[in-house]
Structure 1
Amino acid sequence: MNYKIDELDRGIIKLLSNDGRMSFTELAARLNVTEKTIRLRYKSLLDKEILDVVGVVNPIALGLKAGAIIQLKVKSKSISTVIEKLRNLKLIRYITLTTGEYPILVQITVEDQDQITKVLHDINQMEEVTGVNTIVQLEVYKNTFDYLL
């Protein structure tokens, strides 16, 4: 499913990336098209799974002030097993498969260092994990959802 977006689609996505609550009327005015056109394009972007509308949480406002990136080495042929176990750990918010020495990378955003330690203990209980490299985040300077250049 390879849908090519045009400039109007890009405009809608870019404006909604900056303000997800922008009305169809305002989108239409800013992009010089009718509101009906915006509604149809918006629905098409959703239907084609190019656009997903979600509320983005400010973790600091919720008291989540500590974060870490954790890289994992795993036993041969156990990547899928480890990923499934990681999915069940509530404090892990992001899991990705990477290249290199540590094929799995996870990210956590938690209340404090104690919760980072808890996640590390939980990971350490997984017999398939053979190595862990933890990078504690001290400060986040950019976190964007604008994927269009």
Structure 2
Amino acid sequence: MSAPLALRDVHNTLAPSWWPLAPGWWMVIGALALIALALYALRRWRERRRRRMNEVFDRALADAATPAAEVAAMSELLRRAARRRDRDADRLQGDQWLEFLDRGSKRRDFADGVGRLLLDGGYRREVDPEQASALRELARQRFLRWMGVS
């Protein structure tokens, strides 16, 4: 018979190192990087669009010489933006137009507030500059919201 074999202890292998990463982890990291890049690009695009729409609004009002002309310019901008909501919205008149402007808002700033200036403010000889200023902020918010940047 042959000599008995000498038994040795079991040697554990070393634990796998965390570096270099397995291919699956590289794919996860790449996907996360692409998502982060897409989110960053979307945010920048929205900021640029918001800034551009603010410039459109400001430029239209800068061309107006009087508060009455500013009201007329705001009315035109709102009617153009309203077509994004409803293609026939620019044809609304009077209180129907103001109700449309207030739609989706908890407050009735157009129908019962300073927004009533839109009905005849563009045709008046004199418009109070303070009323025009208050309407400007209200119209800007609605314009930006309808243009999809607010």
TM-score (norm 2): 0.26
TM-score (norm 1): 0.26
Q: Is the radius of gyration larger for structure 1 or structure 2?
A: 2
Greater per-residue helix proportion: 2
